[in-house]
């Protein structure tokens, strides 16, 4: 997946001088937004996190954008006497190595789909084209029957076949980019990137993808008029999507998602065995790994299913001898049940669900059974109570006693920062639909590669959930072993873009601000929490039910549900509790509204 882009913006654009006055032409505005800014924002929204702008003419305008956008300006000092190919070449050293790059012209007004079509095309290097337009100043394309580039020209009569025109949005592989830079040294300096691509196409396949997209280049006052009166309204119409009612989900996942994540599922029909889908899987795996480790030492295995599928795959596939389970809630109990189902030997330490773990007792238990133990299994954030377990402390014990640590981080990953290497965690199970704010249906295990490699030799205890087999398939074929939840994966890609933009720490901070609003509200309503505040993970709160005689959970749930709030029942046998989670696309004002509604309900049943 492409994560970096170059916008070629060094040229003078003299034909538009009258319209954009002192600024470069890409600062021309459509509905008050300069087209360069629209372009930068679109790039960021599709996950491009390294944007280079090749500048020259009036470079200070571009430099000023650095205050607001994460961009880097690279100067082509010879912009007045060289073409865009020279500007492309000066960007070479600032690109991330071995990654493809999106190459854009700066004077384009285009719909977002144009970027998606290019990013998601199966070809390493391709130019985006569309059916022949009549805006004026078209670059016509001649291609082979295999849709590879032969030639480009502004003069239709130069070419034998001209059924498509160049848009100015292109994808270039790392290898081809290097070749283009070498070509720029061979061609005369005034050549443009199009000339470079045509030369490249003589020895390498440069694919021409043709899509019916809405766009135009703004080079002349006529273009500008056309762009603002025809193209822009059309783009707006295409990009306006129906509003989807937003429910405030206060259950601990699936969590409330953004509209962009919801709509990311709407993609052209695709077979998940195609190369472009494999690229998406690889990129998602790397993004997930990078949230808590490094891709050199760790890897992510994607498994279709809910969070429990990942926990099941992890526990059934990695334990070589006896496991020690630390259990202090329903999800710890689930770990025990999984191990029992597979007849995997385990010892369990039951700890009070409302009290922090006693590390001394755990250590004593480790020492007692040390001869048999190979793994420790525990839940990071126990969703039953909201209690946060100190994985780093158990990780230290694992290091001391040479044990491997497996954690269920289903409800913590993506919000509570985790560093697998520093915390000595070898395996971590989680899911797309909690703090990552994606859709339900995809789970994953993040593993230390060395620890994972060892599991290859263990006899498989199951067929579908065998972790090594999933990993092996992903590594060897870039495909999932079985049919993946295709649309859920597109949503996850978008959710990861949004998580990266927000950052795990900031996401946790936002969740904590929701939790603080919740705590203040509960306090004002005289409602008590099951666990002492200081032990809260601040993601879910277990609340003791009010003792009012007319109180009934279902009744309260119904009242709140009708008002857009979904609350969750308690899970611990004896205590009369209900749970409020504050994960997902929520802000403290949503929690304040919930508190108001809860207050109203309680006053009605008084
Ligand atoms: C949500 C959750 C799971 C997985 O539950 P599913 O219903 O399978 O998605 C596992 N562990 C914890 C701690 C959880 O919060």
Distance (Å, whole) CA 379 – CA 429: 10
Distance (Å, whole) CA 354 – CA 113: 50
pTM of the model: 0.94
Q: Which tens digits make up the pLDDT trace of 235-263? A: 999 999 888 988 999 999 999 999 999 99
Pocket test for ligand 1, best of 431, 434, 540 (most atoms within 8 A of CB): 431
Fill in the DSSP letter of residue 480. -
Q: In angstroms, what is the span from residue 570 Cα to ligand 1's centroid?
A: 14
Lowest mean pLDDT among 18-27, 154-163, 309-318: 18-27
Place 284 in a pLDDT band, splitting at 50, 70 and 90. very high
Q: In angstroms, what is the span from residue 251 Cα to ligand 1's centroid?
A: 12
Is the model's pLDDT at 16 over the cut of 90? Answer: no
Tokens at residue 235, please? Answer: 């783009």
**pLDDT confidence of residue 135:** 85
**pLDDT confidence of residue 243:** 86
Distance (Å, whole) CA 198 – CA 195: 5
**pLDDT confidence of residue 13:** 73
Q: Is the CB of 411 under 6 A from ligand 1?
A: yes
Q: Are 384 and 335 in contact (CB under 8 A)?
A: no
**pLDDT confidence of residue 114:** 97
Please name the residues in contact with 468: beta carbons below 8 A apart, sequence gap of 6 or more: 317, 452, 455, 456, 458, 460
Please name the residues in contact with 17: beta carbons below 8 A apart, sequence gap of 6 or more: none
Fill in the DSSP letter of residue 229. I
* CB atoms inside a 10 Å sphere around CB 229: 9
Is the model's pLDDT at 575 over the cut of 80? Answer: no
Tokens at residue 102, please? Answer: 């999106």
- ∠ CA 44-45-46, rounded to 5°: 90
What percent of the chain clears pLDDT 70, i.e. is strictly above it?
98
Q: Is the CB of 383 under 6 A from ligand 1?
A: yes
Distance (Å, whole) CA 124 – CA 551: 62
Q: Which tens digits make up the pLDDT trace of 418-464? A: 999 999 999 999 999 999 999 999 999 999 999 999 999 999 999 99
Q: Which atom of ligand 1 is nearest to 329's Cα?
A: 13
Q: Which tens digits make up the pLDDT trace of 298-317? A: 999 999 999 999 999 999 99
Lowest mean pLDDT among 18-22, 75-79, 279-283, 600-604: 18-22
Q: Is the CB of 331 under 6 A from ligand 1?
A: yes
Q: Are 283 and 493 in contact (CB under 8 A)?
A: yes
**CB contact burial 244-277 (16+ within 10 A = b; e otherwise):** eeeebbbbbbbbbbbeebebbbebeeeebeeeeb
Report the nearest-CA residue for atom 2 of ligand 1: 410
Q: Are 12 and 78 in contact (CB under 8 A)?
A: no
SS3 (DSSP) at 449: helix
Q: Which tens digits make up the pLDDT trace of 519-544? A: 999 999 999 999 999 999 999 999 99
Average per-residue pLDDT for the chain: 96
Q: Is the CB of 413 under 6 A from ligand 1?
A: no
Place 574 in a pLDDT band, splitting at 50, 70 and 90. low
Fill in the DSSP letter of residue 535. G
**pLDDT confidence of residue 572:** 72
- Count Cβ atoms within 10 A of the Cβ of residue 284 and give its class: 0-12 exposed, 13-18 middle, 19 or more buried: buried
């Amino acid at each position: 997946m492409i994560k970096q882009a170059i916008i070629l913006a060094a040229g003078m654009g003299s034909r538009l001088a009258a319209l954009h006055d002192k600024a470069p032409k890409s600062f021309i505005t459509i509905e008050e937004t300069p087209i360069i800014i629209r372009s930068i924002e679109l790039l960021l929204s599709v996950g491009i996190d390294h944007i280079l702008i090749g500048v020259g003419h009036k470079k200070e305008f571009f430099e000023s954008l650095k205050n607001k956008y994460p961009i880097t300006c690279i100067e082509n000092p010879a912009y007045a006497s060289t073409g865009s190919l020279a500007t492309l070449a000066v960007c070479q050293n600032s690109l991330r190595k071995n990654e493809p790059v999106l190459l854009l012209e700066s004077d384009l007004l285009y719909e977002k789909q144009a970027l998606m079509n290019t990013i998601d095309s199966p070809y390493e290097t391709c130019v985006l084209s569309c059916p022949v337009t009549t805006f004026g100043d078209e670059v016509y394309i001649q291609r082979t029957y295999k849709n590879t580039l032969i030639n480009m020209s502004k003069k239709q009569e130069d070419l034998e076949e001209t059924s498509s025109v160049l848009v100015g949005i292109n994808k270039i592989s790392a290898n081809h980019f290097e070749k283009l830079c070498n070509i720029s040294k061979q061609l005369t300096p005034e050549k443009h990137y199009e000339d470079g691509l045509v030369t490249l196409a003589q020895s390498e396949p440069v694919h021409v993808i043709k899509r019916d997209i809405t766009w135009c280049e703004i080079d002349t006052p006529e273009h500008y008029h056309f762009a603002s009166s025809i193209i822009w309204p059309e783009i707006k119409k295409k990009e306006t999507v129906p509003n989807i009612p937003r429910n405030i989900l206060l259950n601990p996942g699936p969590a409330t998602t953004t509209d962009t994540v919801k709509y990311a599922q709407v993609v052209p029909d695709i077979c998940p065995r195609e190369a472009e889908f494999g690229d998406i899987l690889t990129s998602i795996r790397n993004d997930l790994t990078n949230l808590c480790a490094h891709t050199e030492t760790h890897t992510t295995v994607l498994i279709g299913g809910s969070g429990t599928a990942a926990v099941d795959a992890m526990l059934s596939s990695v334990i070589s001898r006896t496991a020690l389970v630390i259990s202090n809630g329903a999800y710890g109990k689930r770990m025990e049940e999984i191990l029992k189902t597979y007849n995997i030997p385990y010892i369990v330490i039951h700890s009070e669900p409302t009290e922090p773990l006693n590390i001394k007792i755990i250590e004593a238990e480790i020492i007692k059974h040390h001869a048999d133990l190979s793994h420790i299994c525990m839940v990071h954030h126990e969703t039953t109570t909201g209690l946060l377990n100190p994985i780093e402390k158990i990780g230290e014990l694992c290091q001391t006693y040479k044990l491997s640590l497996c954690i269920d981080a289903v409800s913590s990953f993506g919000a509570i920062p985790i560093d697998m290497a520093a915390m000595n965690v070898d395996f971590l199970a989680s899911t797309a639909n909690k703090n990552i704010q994606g859709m339900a249906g995809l789970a994953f295990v993040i593993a230390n590669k060395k620890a994972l490699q060892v599991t290859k030799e263990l006899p498989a205890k199951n067929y579908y959930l065998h972790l090594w087999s999933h990993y092996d398939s992903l590594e060897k074929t870039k495909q999932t072993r079985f049919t993946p939840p295709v649309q859920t994966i597109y949503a996850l890609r978008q959710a990861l873009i949004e998580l990266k933009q927000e950052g795990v720490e900031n996401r946790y901070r936002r969740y904590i601000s929701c939790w603080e609003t919740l705590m203040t509200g509960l306090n004002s309503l005289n409602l008590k929490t099951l666990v002492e505040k200081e032990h809260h993970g601040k993601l879910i709160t277990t609340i003791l039910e009010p003792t009012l005689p007319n109180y009934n959970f279902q009744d309260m749930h119904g009242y709140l549900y009708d008002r857009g709030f979904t609350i969750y029942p308690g899970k611990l046998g004896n205590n009369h509790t209900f749970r409020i989670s504050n994960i997902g696309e929520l802000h403290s004002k949503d929690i304040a509204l919930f508190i108001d509604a809860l207050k109203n309900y309680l006053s009605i049943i008084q």
